[in-house]
């Protein structure tokens, strides 16, 4: 029997008071890209559709999107920019918004963000600001974007002083997720997305957490329905959290499990480690922080390490990352309040921890983090 004998839905509804009509659907369907025109006519009618994609995704899947629009009798344009995080800037934002003005796209136009998280954030911010906001559809093409970036309405660009510092909450009209596009995604990128899936299992669903490593081979081969089921399950988990807390004032913090350390790793390595790999390391380290505080059940970190190992994800820090530098880097995290670093921790696999005051993050002393980092390897 498939380890993914978990019930999953084709469509997840995200309730968001800021969204047009009070929410939006996330639709996961193999072949959805080929039905783009049909899906858009129903959920996001517009006078013209502008697909924004990086040059790599445009080459692989841009024509399929444009063909689908033409097939449904819709007006479609394609705007591209160079692939990579280095393009997630105000400079690319201004190039794209100027191109939209030249195309004469009006307030009744619609932007389709076709690509990974970089495209979703950048094209989303373009949609949020162009003519004070036009309709946006997210069409994620990396696993990371499918299970994370395309859901929740966060858009924005990087600044020289840090990532994601300029942006807006701007919910899409619809999220169209076609797992077929993952066939062209490099393995390392697929694994990076699986780290977020492990996180989803760890914060919300023990059965899902257990199913992921069991299905490692099927997931990586992209065969059968394992990957599609995982995408759906992760979307349902992130969707439920975001629905409860659309503007990130409380419970949404649990999605940051693993991320305080992950962001610090990214900073001290100057972003040489892909986000998903940094998250994998962060999940283990933060589980060990939870165990050392007595907040997380013993064995939590080991269980996460085993799951990551089965999925071919790194669990240990690179040796050239100094513990003290890493602790320093956690201090510039956005989740720092009143000079204490707050972490989203687990109670056990499948269940987040709550602080005594009911909040979803727990203040942790630097010395605790340092001890955990310096005892690296003791849990295996």
Ligand X SMILES: NC(=O)c1ccc[n+]([C@@H]2O[C@H](COP(=O)([O-])OP(=O)(O)OC[C@H]3O[C@@H](n4cnc5c(N)ncnc54)[C@H](O)[C@@H]3O)[C@@H](O)[C@H]2O)c1
Among the listed residues 3, 62, 115, 282, the single contact to ligand X using CB under 6 A: 115
> Which spans in the chain are helix H?
36-43, 55-57, 63-71, 90-103, 117-129, 143-144, 187-204, 206-214, 216-221, 226-244, 259-268, 275-293, 300-310, 323-330, 366-374
Please report the DSSP string for 41-76 in residue order: HHHS--SEEEEEEEHHHIIIIIHHHHHHHHHTT--E
Question: CA-CA distance, 30 to 17, in Å (whole number)?
Answer: 29
Stretches 36-44, 142-150, 281-289, 305-313: which one binds ligand X (CB under 6 A)?
A: 142-150
CB of residue 302 vs ligand X: minimum separation in angstroms? Answer: 27
Stretches 4-12, 49-57, 232-240, 316-324: which one binds ligand X (CB under 6 A)?
A: 49-57
Q: How many CA atoms lie within 13 A of 255 on its CB side?
A: 24
How many Å is the Cα radius of gyration of the chain? 20
Stretches 54-62, 70-78, 210-218, 358-366: which one binds ligand X (CB under 6 A)?
A: 54-62
- Of all residues in the shown chain, the one whose CB is closest to ligand X is 117
Contacting ligand X within 163-202 (CB under 6 A): 163-164, 181, 184-185, 189
**DSSP 8-state code for residue 262:** H
CB 379 within 8 A of CB 288: yes
Closest among 54, 50, 47, 17 to 153, alpha carbons compared: 17
Do the bridges between strand 336-337 and strand 340-343 make them parallel or antiparallel, or are there none, so unpaired? Answer: antiparallel
Residue 154 interacts with ligand X (CB under 6 A): yes or no = yes
Handedness of CA 371, 372, 373, 379 (dihedral sign): positive
Q: Which residues are catalytic?
A: 132, 154, 196, 238, 248, 252, 256, 259, 263, 275
> Which CB atom, from 24 or from 369, has the smaller least distance to ligand X?
24
> Which CB atom, from 32 or from 149, has the smaller least distance to ligand X?
149
Residue 57 interacts with ligand X (CB under 6 A): yes or no = yes
Contacting ligand X within 274-293 (CB under 6 A): 275
CB 155 within 8 A of CB 124: yes
CB of residue 144 vs ligand X: minimum separation in angstroms? Answer: 4
Contacting ligand X within 77-96 (CB under 6 A): 83-85, 88
> Which CB atom, from 148 or from 286, has the smaller least distance to ligand X?
148
Among the listed residues 152, 172, 213, 290, the single contact to ligand X using CB under 6 A: 152
CB of residue 292 vs ligand X: minimum separation in angstroms? Answer: 28
Closest among 270, 264, 224, 237 to 351, alpha carbons compared: 237
Among the listed residues 12, 37, 54, 216, the single contact to ligand X using CB under 6 A: 54
List interacting residues with ligand X (CB under 6 A): 54, 56-57, 60, 83-85, 88, 115-119, 121, 141-142, 144-145, 148-149, 152, 154, 163-164, 181, 184-185, 189, 275
């Amino acid at each position: 029997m498939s380890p993914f004998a978990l019930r999953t839905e084709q469509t997840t509804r995200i309730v968001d008071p800021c969204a047009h009509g009070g929410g939006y659907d996330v639709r996961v369907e193999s072949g959805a890209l080929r039905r783009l025109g049909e899906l858009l006519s129903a959920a996001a009618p517009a006078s013209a559709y502008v697909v924004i994609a990086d040059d790599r995704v445009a080459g692989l899947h841009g024509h399929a999107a444009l063909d689908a629009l033409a097939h449904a009798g819709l007006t479609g344009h394609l705007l591209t920019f160079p692939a990579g995080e280095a393009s997630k800037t105000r400079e690319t934002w201004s190039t794209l918004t100027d191109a939209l003005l030249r195309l004469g796209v009006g307030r009744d136009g619609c932007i389709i963000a076709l690509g990974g998280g970089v495209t979703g954030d950048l094209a989303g911010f373009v949609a949020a600001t162009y003519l004070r906001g036009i309709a946006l559809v997210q069409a994620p093409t990396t696993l990371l974007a499918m299970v994370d970036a395309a859901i929740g309405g966060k858009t924005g660009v990087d600044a020289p002083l840090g990532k994601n510092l300029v942006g807006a909450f701007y919910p899409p009209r619809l999220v169209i997720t076609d797992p077929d596009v993952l066939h062209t995604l490099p393995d390392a990128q697929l694994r990076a997305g699986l780290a977020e899936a492990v996180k989803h299992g760890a914060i919300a669903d023990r059965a899902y957490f257990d199913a992921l490593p069991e299905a490692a081979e099927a997931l990586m081969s992209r065969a059968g329905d394992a990957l599609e089921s995982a995408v759906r399950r992760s979307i349902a988990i992130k969707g439920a959290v975001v629905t409860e807390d659309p503007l990130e004032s409380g419970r949404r913090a649990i999605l940051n499990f693993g991320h305080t350390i992950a962001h610090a790793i990214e900073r001290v390595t100057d972003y040489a480690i892909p986000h998903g790999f940094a998250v994998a390391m962060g999940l283990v380290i933060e589980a060990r922080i939870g165990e050392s505080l007595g907040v997380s059940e013993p064995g939590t970190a080991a269980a996460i390490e085993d799951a990551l190992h089965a999925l071919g994800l790194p669990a240990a820090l690179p040796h050239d990352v100094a513990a003290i530098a890493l602790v320093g880097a956690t201090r510039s995290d956005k989740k720092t309040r009143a000079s204490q670093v707050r972490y989203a921790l687990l109670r056990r696999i499948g269940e987040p921890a709550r602080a005594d005051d009911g909040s979803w993050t727990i203040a942790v002393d630097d010395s605790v983090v340092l001890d955990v980092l310096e005892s690296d390897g003791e849990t295996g």
